[in-house]
Chains A and B, each alone.
Chain A
Amino acid sequence: MINWRLIAKIMGFLLFIEAGLMMLCQGVCWIYEEGVKAFSPAISLALLLGIISVVLGRRAGKKMSRKDGYIVVSLVWVIFTLIGMIPFMLDGHVPDVASAFFETMSGFTSTGATIIDDLDAMPKGLLFWRSLTQWIGGIGIVFFTIAILPAFGVGEVKLFAAESTGPLHNKVHPRISVAAKWIGGVYVALTLLCIVSLMICGMPAFDAINYSMCTTATGGYGTHSALLDDYYHSPAIEYVLIFFMFISGVNYTLIYYTILKGKIKNFFSDAELKAYLIIVLGASLICAIVLAYNGSMYNVEESIRHSLFTVISLQTTTGLATVDYTIWPVQLMPVLLFVMFVGASSGSTSGGFKCVRLSIIYRVLVNEFTHILHPRAVTPVLMNGSIVPYKVVQTLMGFVALFVCSLFMGAFVLAISGVDPNDVHPNFDYYEAFGIAMSCISNVGPGMGYYGPVHSWDILSPLAKYVCSFLMLIGRLEIFPIIILFTRGFWKKG
Chain B
Amino acid sequence: MKIVIVGAGAVGTHLARMLSNDRQDVVLIDADESKLFRWGSELDIMTLVRQPSSIQGMKDAEVNRADLFIAVTPNESENLACAMLAKQLGAKKTVARVDNYEYMKPENLELFKKMGIESLIYPELLAAEDIKASARYSWVRQMWEFNNGELLLLSVKMHDANPIGEKEISNKDNQLVGHTLKEIGMKHGHNFHVVAIKRDGETISPYGDEKILPRDLVFFMTTKDNLAEIRHLTGKDDYPAIKNSLLIGGGKLSVRASWKLATIHDGIKMIEPDKQRTEELQSLVSPKTMILEGEGYDMDLLNDEGYGNMEALIALTDNDQQNILACVAARRRGIRKTIAQVENLDYFDMADDLDIGTIINKKMIAASHIYRMLLKGDVDNVKMLTIGNADVAEFVVKPGSQVTRKKVMDLHFPYGVNIGGMSRDGHSMLVSGPTQLQAGDKVVVFCTGNTLKKLDKFFK
Contacts and interface: CB of A to CB of B under 8 A. Distances in A.
A421 interface: no
Contacts of B44: 156-157, 174-177
Interface in A151-178: 151, 156-158, 161, 169, 171, 173-178
Interface in B1-50: 2, 20, 23, 25-27, 33-34, 37, 40-46, 49
Interface string A184-198: 000000000000000
B33 to A, nearest CB: 6
A175 B25 contact: yes
Most chain A beta-carbon neighbours within 10 Å: one of B33, B40, B44, B46: B44
B41 A161 contact: yes
Contacts of A157: 41-44
A377 interface: no
B33 A178 contact: no
A304 to B, nearest CB: 40
Contacts of A387: 33
Contact of A178 (B25, B37, B40): B25
A493 interface: no
Nearest to A387: B33
Interface residues of A, number: 17
B46 A171 contact: yes
Contacts of B49: 386
Interface in A383-436: 386-387, 389, 391
Contacts of B25: 173-175, 178
A169 B49 CA distance: 13
A174 B46 contact: yes
Given A386-B49, A387-B33, A389-B33, A174 B26 contact: yes
A157 B33 CA distance: 19
A239 B300 CA distance: 91
A173 B42 contact: no
Contacts of A174: 2, 20, 25-27, 44-46
A173 B65 CA distance: 12
Interface in B335-376: none
Nearest to B3: A174
Contacts of B37: 389, 391
Contacts of A178: 25
Most chain B beta-carbon neighbours within 10 Å: one of A169, A174, A386: A174
A349 to B, nearest CB: 23
Contacts of A156: 44
Interface residues of B, number: 17
Interface in B296-336: none
A161 B392 CA distance: 36
Contacts of A389: 33-34, 37
Given A387-B33, A389-B33, A173 B41 contact: no
A389 B36 CA distance: 11
A174 B24 CA distance: 8
Contacts of A177: 44
A176 B27 CA distance: 12
Nearest to A388: B33
A178 B20 CA distance: 13
A230 B2 CA distance: 54
Nearest to B28: A174
Contacts of B23: 151, 175
A378 to B, nearest CB: 16
A255 B26 CA distance: 23
Contacts of A173: 25, 46
A177 B20 CA distance: 12
A484 to B, nearest CB: 15
Nearest to A66: B41
A387 B33 CA distance: 9
Nearest to A391: B37
A169 B37 CA distance: 11
A173 B25 CA distance: 8
A174 B37 CA distance: 15
A264 to B, nearest CB: 17
A275 to B, nearest CB: 22
A227 B413 CA distance: 64
Nearest to B25: A174
B179 to A, nearest CB: 28
A269 B42 CA distance: 30
B184 to A, nearest CB: 29
A327 B114 CA distance: 76
A278 B44 CA distance: 35
A157 B40 CA distance: 9
A7 to B, nearest CB: 19
Contacts of B20: 174-175
Contacts of B45: 174-175
Interface string A214-238: 0000000000000000000000000
A156 B46 CA distance: 13
A303 B26 CA distance: 51
A257 to B, nearest CB: 11
B52 to A, nearest CB: 16
Interface in B128-143: none
B26 to A, nearest CB: 5
Contacts of A151: 23
A10 to B, nearest CB: 16
A253 to B, nearest CB: 12
Contacts of A171: 46
A269 to B, nearest CB: 15
A158 B42 CA distance: 7
Nearest to A161: B41
A169 B25 CA distance: 17
A174 B23 CA distance: 10
Contacts of B33: 387, 389
Nearest to B27: A174
B31 to A, nearest CB: 12
Contacts of A175: 20, 23, 25, 44-45
Nearest to B26: A174
A386 B44 CA distance: 22
B338 to A, nearest CB: 32
Nearest to B33: A389
A387 B23 CA distance: 30
A174 B5 CA distance: 12
Nearest to B46: A174
Contacts of A176: 44
B30 to A, nearest CB: 13
A178 B34 CA distance: 26
A386 B31 CA distance: 12
Nearest to A171: B46
Contacts of B43: 157
Nearest to A176: B44
Most chain A beta-carbon neighbours within 10 Å: one of B26, B40, B41: B41
A389 to B, nearest CB: 6
Contacts of B40: 169
A337 to B, nearest CB: 34
A391 B41 CA distance: 14
Nearest to A178: B25
Interface of B: 2, 20, 23, 25-27, 33-34, 37, 40-46, 49
Given A175-B44, A389-B34, A389-B37, 8 more contacts: A156-B44, A157-B42, A169-B40, A173-B25, A174-B27, A175-B25, A175-B45, A178-B25
12 contacts: A151-B23, A157-B42, A158-B41, A161-B41, A174-B20, A174-B26, A174-B46, A175-B20, A176-B44, A177-B44, A389-B33, A391-B37
List the 9 closest pairs (A to B, CB-CB), nearest first.
A174-B46, A174-B25, A171-B46, A157-B44, A174-B26, A174-B27, A176-B44, A174-B45, A161-B41
